[in-house]
Amino acid sequence: MHTKRILYRLSSPTESRAHVTTEATASAADCGLLLIRLTFGLLMAAHGAQKLFGIFGGDGLTATAKGFADLGYRPGKLFAVIGSLSEFLGGLGLALGLFTPLAAAALIGVMVNAMATVTGAHGLWEADGGVEYSVCICVVALAVAAIGPGRLAVDRFFRWGAGGWGEAAFALGLGGVAAAITLSI
């Protein structure tokens, strides 16, 4: 009954067309989230593509696998593929707003591993080789999972598209568990 009243109100000839149009357009927050998702997501996808495909000035999978093996990941190629795909697909997922909590979890997991194995020993600041960059990636990914990807995202059609505590907990929990498993192997 309540739904019928709303539909009737929106189709009523006395209802201003401007009001109906305003509800259908994206808000400044939706556009801001799109800007964050596209910039952050595409840069992360490109970062993963450097490692996977050797494009954008990257060294490619063979060199990445050697780097992972040098860090103690065995087999190096398997972990290089997992880490690179996490960055590539996680970045694309965030950019599109597709499976946003899962995309955020992928980026959080790979960055926790980077902090634990590479940057953690160098302190906070990136200039000293520290965790600054990785922390920023984790926080942005977690924030987008919590806020939701906005109206200008594929996820707007799904239950998890609104974000929330559950989506943030999923992203942080899955990313943390995946990082812990990877680090313990």
pLDDT in tens, 36-55: 999 999 999 999 999 999 99
Per mean pLDDT, which range of 77-81, 118-122, 132-136, 159-163 is the poorest?
159-163
Q: E strands along the chain, which residues?
A: none
Nearest residue to 178 (alpha-carbon basis) of 105, 97, 71, 92: 105
Once rounded to an integer, what is the mean pLDDT over residues 15-24?
A: 43
pTM for the structure as a whole? 0.84
pLDDT at 20 over 50: no
Our CA angle for 108, 113, 119, nearest 5°, is 110
Q: Which two tokens stand for residue 147?
A: 């806020």
User: How far is residue 100's CA from residue 148's CA, in Å, rounded to a whole number?
Assistant: 8
Could you tell me the pLDDT band of residue 161, with boundaries at 50, 70 and 90? confident
pLDDT at 185 over 90: no
Half-sphere exposure of 182 (CA within 13 A, CB side): 29
Query: Is pLDDT larger for residue 132 or for residue 22?
Result: 132
Q: What values do phi and psi take at 99, rounded to 5?
A: 50, 50
pLDDT at 24 over 90: no
Once rounded to an integer, what is the mean pLDDT over residues 70-84?
A: 95
Q: Burial letters for 73-107: b for 16+ Cβ neighbours within 10 Å, e otherwise?
A: beebbebbbbbbebbbbbbbbbbbbbbbbbbbbbb
pLDDT at 132: 96
- Tell me how crowded residue 16 is: count the other CB atoms within 10 A of its CB: 9
Q: What is the mean pLDDT of the chain?
A: 88
pLDDT at 60 over 60: yes
Is the Cβ–Cβ distance between 166 and 105 less than 8 Å?
Answer: no
Could you tell me the pLDDT band of residue 31, with boundaries at 50, 70 and 90? very high
- Tell me how crowded residue 133 is: count the other CB atoms within 10 A of its CB: 15
Could you tell me the pLDDT band of residue 2, with boundaries at 50, 70 and 90? very low
DSSP string, 20-53: HHHHHSPPHHHHHHHHHHHHHHHHHHHHHHHHHH
